[in-house]
Structures are given as C-alpha cells and as structure tokens.
Amino acid sequence: MPPRGSSSESLSSSAGPPPAFSGIPPPPPGDPPSWPSPRVPLHVGEAQLDRPAAAQCVLAGLHEKSAGTLYLTNLRLIWEPLQAPNDANGANEAYAGLPAVLGLETPRLLSVPLYSIVSKKIYRSQAGVILELLQKYNSRPALRVGLSESDCSRISGVLTLHLKPPANPMEVRANVERSYAVLHGSQLAPTVERKAHSNAFKGWTSMFDASADYQRMGLLNPLSHWRVSEQNADYQLCGTYPAKLVVPRSVKDDDLLKASQFRSAGRVPVLCWKDPFGVASICRSSQPCVGVSKWACPQDEALLQAIADTNPFNEQLQIIDCRSRVNAELNTAKGKGYEHQTQYINTKISFMSIENIHVMRASLKTFLKLLEPKTLNASKTGELYKEEDSFLSDLDKSGWMGHILKIIRTTATVVKMISVDRASVLVHGSDGWDRTPQVTALAQLMLDPHYRTIAGFQQLLVKEWLSFGHQFALRCATLAPLEHGHYTPSDEEMSPVFVQYIECVWQISQQLPKAFEFNSRYLATLLYHVTSCEHGTFLCDCERQRVELGLPTCATSLWAELDGPEFLNQEYVPDAAILMPNLSASALKPWTAYYTRGAEIMLEDPQSLLEVRVHKLSEENARLKRELQALQAIQVVASQGEASTSKGAAAGDHGSAAAATDGAADAPTAATAASTLTRQLTDKELQDLNGQAPPLSPGGDPDVNHDIVTWQLTTES
C-alpha cells in the first residue's frame, strides 16, 4: 500500500521531478526484435508489447528498493533484478516459472499475468513515481515499481489499451485470435514442439468424454428414462448450452424447442447428474418467462412433469430457486419470474436467497479491504497502525463469509433432497449460469465420489461451468468475442462467481481433509489460470464460442499442467460416502493464503508446507524402493553366477561336457534378465537399504571401501 499522505491517482498531483533511477537504461525506440530480452526465456508466441524500462522494485511495506528491469509482453509483466539471485548451490530458483512474493531479502523475478490485473495506481512518494498493480481477488499488490515519469506514462497507456472493456470487435480483449493463448498454440501446431506438448492439446477432448459420463450414470441403457438429444448440435436451440443435452425420453425434440423459447436465454431444463445407483437426478435451467400475467407454456410444464416422472420413488419435483422470493417477484415485471404451483403440478419451489453478482462483487471488495496489510505510521515513526477491535464485526458486515455459507447450505439442502428424500431437483436462478452452477457442481461433488478425484473434478468443471456456459470472460474481465445481443463487457458485469465456488470447495476440504485427491495449491493454481489467459480453456463465455474460434485446435488446454504430483493431497482416502460438512458459521475461516497472496499463486501455510514435505518423502521412498530392487537383482545374478561356476567346476572334475554347457548357459540368461536394473549406488545408500556392511567392490574384496560401487552386468561368450 502507498505511504500515508503521499498516494495519488495522477502524476501531476505532486510537484518536483522524480529522482533518477539506477539500472539498465531503456533502449531507443525500435522494432520489437531490437529490444533487449529478459534472462527468463519467453514462451513460444510471447512477444514484448513495449520496450523494457529501468524499474526499482519497492518491497512491500518498506522503502527499500531493488534495481531491475520491467518487461511487458502479451502474456505478463516481468520484473527482473539486475543480477539473477542464486541459491547456496548456485541454482537460480527465480526462473522456475513461478511468481515470487514481494519483500524477500534477495530480489527475485516477479511475473504478473496481464489479464489478472484489476487496477493500477500511480502516485508519488519519497521513492519517486510508483506504479502499483493490483490483481483480481487479491488484497496485496502484486507488483510495486519505481519508474521514470515517461516510462510510467507509456507502460500505463499500454496496460489501459489491453485491459479496458472492448467497445468494438477489433479491440484487444475482444480479439481472441490475436491473444497469447492462440498465438502460442498456433505456433506450436505446425512444429515438432506440438508433439512435445501433445498432452496439452489432448486435454480438450480427453478430459471430458460426455458419452463416458452418460455411461457411468446409466443414461445410455435402453431402459433408461433419459435420452441424449442432438437438438442443440448446431447451438441453435440454446447458444450457451453444450451440443449434447440429456432430456426425459418421453419429451420430443419439437416440444423441447418450444419449451426453450419459454425460458430465459433459451436455457431449457436439462439433466446434469443422475444417481448412478438410483433414479434421483439434478437438472438445471434458467427462470421461466411467466411475467406478471402468468403466461403458460404447456410444453415447459410437460417437460417438468416428465422430469418428475423419471423418479418413481418421489413424484414431487423439488425446484431450488437460488434467488430470494423478492428478487424472483421483481423479475416478473421484466417478463420472467418463477414456477407457480398452480401451473406446475407436482412441484415444490424453495427460494434460497443467494445474492446477485453485484452484491457479491461489492462484498468481495469490502472483504479484501479488511485483509490489506498494515504499514508503519508515517506520522509516528516506530508505531504500528492500531489494529481495530472491530475486525470480526467488520468481517461479518462484509458479508463474504455469509455468502459462502449460504451457498454451502443451499447445496446441503439439495444433497438432503437427493439422498434422504430420494427426490429429483431442478436448480435455477435468473439466467442459470452464475448461482446455478455453484449449487449443481458443489452438490455433485458432495454426492458423487468420482468428482472428488483430480480427473473427476476437472470433468465436473468442464461439464457444469464450461459446457453449460458460465461467462468466464464477462465475469473475470478476460477475453471473449463481442456478440450482438449479448452483455457488453464492463466492470459492472464482473463478479467473483467462480472464485466463490472454488472457495466453497476449499472450505469443505478443510473440514474433510481426506475426502479430496487434490490439495489447496491445486485450487489456487486453477484460479491463477482462470485470469492468466495462458491457455484456451477459460477463454470466451461458452462452448459455442470456443468451437467457432477453433480453440481446441489452436490453443493449449490447461488440464495437462495441473497433473503434477505437487497438486496431490497426501492424506486422500477414497470413500464413496456422501459428504455433509458442518453448516455452522464457526466452521468457516477466511482463505487468507489465497486472498493475501501478493505476487504468489498462494502463500505457504503449515498444511501446504507439510504436503510439500510429504511429497518429497514419497519421492525419496520410491527412489529407495527402486534401488532396493536393483540390489536384489544384482544379488540374484551373483548367486546364479556362483552356481554356474560350481557347475562348470564340477563338469571339469568329472569330465561332463553337458553339465559345463548348462552352467555356462545360466549366467548370460540371469544377467540379461537383470540388465535393465543396472544401477550406480553409493556405499551409504546400500548400507541404508540393507543395514549391512559396505557392499563388495566389483573385484570382490570386502576390505576395499569405494565411494561409489558401479555394478556392471556383462555377458561373456
């Protein structure tokens, strides 16, 4: 945060020229190829947008400065110290591709994704002109650098050009074809490099196979009450729905078309999950267009009745309206509304009072304000700002934790209806792409253990969030084409909808730490890539846009990058039980490791540090097992060699040529079988494995102690 009494939004608010900054002088203007490149290698398709600028990184909360250079590319901002920091072994950790936290004693490279930036501040302080960049969903600055006035003005202008909401299709945020993700994938495509990145492209198709998911839930059974409809194959039925839809078998495609015309944005009620071992189901849709006149649509009413008929154990269809009743009534004035039981028989509607996107955006802003770091009081040197005694009450007033709890409680209501009442449930809000997937995706996570694995969770995200049209670009202020009749991107349309869902998953994982195969770092990295725009997975607002732009063939998929062992929960225990977390407000806690991360993906907490340690021990254990197997194979070969020698000696003593031939044949066979296990082991490793004295040297002398004993299996003719 800027020092008190010195912050300003403009460069001209304070008199006096900024001080000169030490560092690499900026090169003269020229073509991008003539600009100096950072020491960290740029990715394929990554290009500098402006010439590098000498920049001093101002450490968080302090007046200390580290000289370096600021680079601006079409993917990120990179601040490099003048000299690359080295660890004790001389290895440069700063260039491992991960961001680094501000305030370390040794300056490290800082990397901030371009589209993760939500705002910038420019102000004067004793250090000069300061450019401070704030990320989305982050209470701490990701980058704070001192620049010359001309460099600051120039870089600020480029950032504004790339981050402002687009007004026409050719502006940066609407021109997906020129984004880094597409340039990166397109340049990989015709080269050998694409083969090396084949898994990144396969993630588009291999991660979620709709037919396999249908098969797992028993929907492809000829006796099933459900069928797969191709009515939306060309996205004409509903442009924000997936190409394949699952509907009751008794509903015809013509009736489905008429029912979609009665639902907001054409988002007709369709299946998203069915109990693989039962008949209860979860469907999703948008609100019906009943209006104040209570218009009716026989096809829509018949569709809901058909959904209820698929469940012979409970004939009443439960409707979960995520809005409050007041908001639902207000929507009737706009020609929309909710299902009236006088029109929709065998239904029961419940209003859950989850707030809209505007309330959530304001709540997060207040919540992040509470988590801002405290600094030294400029007017009273040596005294800290007084910590307000009202933090807990202010946290409650922000409403953020209350909103998280309400989403979890609403989901628990759905889970109870499915598991206890054996009822089928229809979930919707207004348009069915914000609050609706929060509830449906969380309910499936709690009901179905398949979605609690890494692969299953990724499939769940593809199905409920990507395929069913959550507007990632609109809500996260990233990249999507402009379309006539759709919402125009603006700051008023931003909202932390997906962040809330991920936090709900995190909150449940904290209560039930053995239930999920993935850990907190996995969730934080997932959120990092939602706004990094490094891959094509979260670009655009629906499946149709991604298909029309050809992203599955010209942009990499995120899922291959989230397949590392560092994302595994070492305490995971597979369990088919239905999850039911504690619904008390006291069971929740702020996810400070994520919301106060600064330039990191997330801050390390005791749990994540323990997971890293367990992961390293697991790798060490696997290595030792391999070495033990190699040692055992060597011992087998040695014993068989001794046996063959004995046979040869016996053959020589008794003149038996046949015995000698058999003995000679045994040795190469044993050696060949173990040749793949040839290892180079230190004496200490062998002692640790066997608990014995140092092994014999290759010459067989037990008195000779070698630092390294190389076991070489050879076969003599």
Q: What is the pLDDT of residues 125-156, one digit of tens each?
A: 776 799 999 999 999 999 999 999 999 999 99
Please report how the helices 357-370 and 400-419 are oriented relative to each other, as an axis angle in degrees rounded to 10: 130
The span from the CA of 190 to the CA of 212, in Å, is 31
Q: How far is CA 87 from CA 92, 93, 613, in A?
A: 6, 7, 19
The span from the CA of 190 to the CA of 620, in Å, is 39
Mean pLDDT, range 75-79, rounded to an integer:
95
- Side by side, which strands form the sheet with 281-284? 270-274, 281-284, 425-428, 317-321, 347-351
> Using CB atoms within 10 A of its CB, is residue 7 exposed (0-12), middle (13-18) or buried (19+)?
middle
Is the pLDDT at 103 greater than 80, yes or no?
Answer: no
Residue with tokens 């013509």: 254
Alpha helices in 533-605 (DSSP H): 543-548, 551-554, 592-595
Q: How far is CA 463 from CA 34, 165, 271, in A?
A: 45, 28, 11
**Which residue did the predictor score with more confidence, 378 or 360?**
360
The pLDDT value given to residue 26: 40
The pLDDT value given to residue 578: 97
Is the pLDDT at 98 greater than 50, yes or no?
Answer: no
CA triplet 612, 133, 368: central angle to 5 degrees? Answer: 70
Q: Which residues contact 122 (CB under 8 A, 6 or more apart)?
A: 8, 9, 10, 11, 129, 130, 131, 132, 152, 156
Mean pLDDT, range 407-425, rounded to an integer:
97
The pLDDT value given to residue 649: 58
Helix, strand, or coil (residue 492): helix
Is the pLDDT at 260 greater than 90, yes or no?
Answer: yes
The pLDDT value given to residue 161: 92
Check: CB of residue 513 under 8 Å from CB of residue 569: yes
Lowest mean pLDDT across 186-195, 354-363, 578-587, 681-690:
681-690
Is the pLDDT at 345 greater than 80, yes or no?
Answer: yes
**What one-character-per-residue DSSP string does 87-141 give?**
-TTS--GGGSS----TT-SS---EEEEGGGEEEEEEEEETTEEEEEEEETT-SS-
The pLDDT value given to residue 603: 87
Pairing of the two strands 317-321 and 245-248: unpaired
The pLDDT value given to residue 207: 67
Check: CB of residue 117 under 8 Å from CB of residue 159: yes
199 belongs to an annotated ligand binding site: no
Q: What's the whole-number average pLDDT of the chain?
A: 82
**Which residue did the predictor score with more confidence, 563 or 689?**
563
The pLDDT value given to residue 623: 86
The pLDDT value given to residue 425: 98
Is the pLDDT at 283 greater than 70, yes or no?
Answer: yes
Give the residue range(s) of CATH 2.30.29.30 domains in the chain. Answer: 53-82+106-185
The span from the CA of 559 to the CA of 539, in Å, is 14
Is the pLDDT at 105 greater than 80, yes or no?
Answer: no
The pLDDT value given to residue 194: 61
The pLDDT value given to residue 333: 93
Q: For 356, what's the count of Cα atoms within 13 Å in the CB-facing half-sphere?
A: 11
Confidence of residue 616 (pLDDT cuts 50, 70, 90): confident
**Which residue did the predictor score with more confidence, 22 or 229?**
229
Is the pLDDT at 387 greater than 90, yes or no?
Answer: no
Mean pLDDT, range 442-456, rounded to an integer:
97
Task: Compute how many other C-beta atoms are within 10 angstroms of the C-beta atom of residue 529.
Answer: 18
Provide the β-strand partners of residue 281.
274
**Which residue did the predictor score with more confidence, 390 or 505?**
505
What b/e sequence results for 458-495 when a residue is b if at least 16 CB atoms lie within 10 Å of its CB, and e otherwise? bbbbbbbbbbbbbbbbbbbbbbbbbeeebeebeeebbb
The pLDDT value given to residue 18: 36
Q: How far is CA 594 from CA 136, 502, 527, in A?
A: 11, 11, 10
Helix, strand, or coil (residue 568): strand
The pLDDT value given to residue 651: 55
Question: What phi, psi does 131 have (nearest 5°)?
Answer: -105, 120
Mean pLDDT, range 370-377, rounded to an integer:
75
Is the pLDDT at 475 greater than 90, yes or no?
Answer: yes
The pLDDT value given to residue 614: 74
Mean pLDDT, range 333-345, rounded to an integer:
94
pLDDT in tens, 287-328: 999 999 999 999 999 999 999 999 999 999 999 999 999 999
569 belongs to an annotated ligand binding site: no
Confidence of residue 704 (pLDDT cuts 50, 70, 90): very low
The span from the CA of 375 to the CA of 355, in Å, is 34
The pLDDT value given to residue 460: 96
> Using CB atoms within 10 A of its CB, is residue 293 exposed (0-12), middle (13-18) or buried (19+)?
exposed
The pLDDT value given to residue 226: 97
pLDDT in tens, 463-472: 999 999 999 9
CATH number of the domain at 53-82+106-185, please?
A: 2.30.29.30
Mean pLDDT, range 338-361, rounded to an integer:
96
H helix count then E strand count, the chain: 22, 16
Is the pLDDT at 86 greater than 90, yes or no?
Answer: no
314 belongs to an annotated ligand binding site: no
CA triplet 674, 679, 680: central angle to 5 degrees? Answer: 150
Is the pLDDT at 361 greater than 60, yes or no?
Answer: yes
Pairing of the two strands 281-284 and 425-428: parallel
The pLDDT value given to residue 377: 54
362 belongs to an annotated ligand binding site: no
Q: Residue 308's Cα: distance from chain center in Å?
A: 36
Residue type, position 123, single letter: Y
* Gyration radius of the chain's alpha carbons: 31
**Which residue did the predictor score with more confidence, 647 or 278?**
278
Alpha helices in 486-605 (DSSP H): 497-511, 520-532, 543-548, 551-554, 592-595
Which of 343, 239, 368 lies closest to 290, judged by CA?
Answer: 343
pLDDT in tens, 173-223: 999 999 999 999 988 867 656 666 667 777 787 667 888 999 999 999 999
356 belongs to an annotated ligand binding site: yes
Residue type, position 351, single letter: F
331 belongs to an annotated ligand binding site: yes
Question: What phi, psi does 715 have (nearest 5°)?
Answer: -125, 125
pLDDT in tens, 528-577: 999 999 999 999 999 999 999 999 989 999 998 898 888 999 899 999 99
For residue 419, the surrounding DSSP H or E stretch is helix 400-419
**Which residue did the predictor score with more confidence, 105 or 11?**
105
Whether pTM > 0.75 for this model: the answer is yes
The pLDDT value given to residue 386: 54
Q: Which residues contact 661 (CB under 8 A, 6 or more apart)?
A: 651
Question: What phi, psi does 78 have (nearest 5°)?
Answer: -120, 125
Per cent of the chain over pLDDT 70 is: 75
Is the pLDDT at 526 greater than 90, yes or no?
Answer: yes
Check: CB of residue 443 under 8 Å from CB of residue 320: no
Mean pLDDT, range 508-518, rounded to an integer:
96
Which of 173, 197, 199, 202 lies closest to 187, judged by CA?
Answer: 197
The pLDDT value given to residue 14: 35
What b/e sequence results for 607-632 when a residue is b if at least 16 CB atoms lie within 10 Å of its CB, and e otherwise? bbeebeeebeeeeeeeeeeebbebbe
Q: How far is CA 632 from CA 489, 627, 681, 690, 695, in A?
A: 65, 9, 13, 10, 12
The pLDDT value given to residue 694: 42
Is the pLDDT at 393 greater than 50, yes or no?
Answer: yes
Tokens representing 51 are 């010439």
Is the pLDDT at 412 greater than 80, yes or no?
Answer: yes
Lowest mean pLDDT across 30-44, 234-248, 569-583:
30-44
For residue 256, the surrounding DSSP H or E stretch is helix 253-260
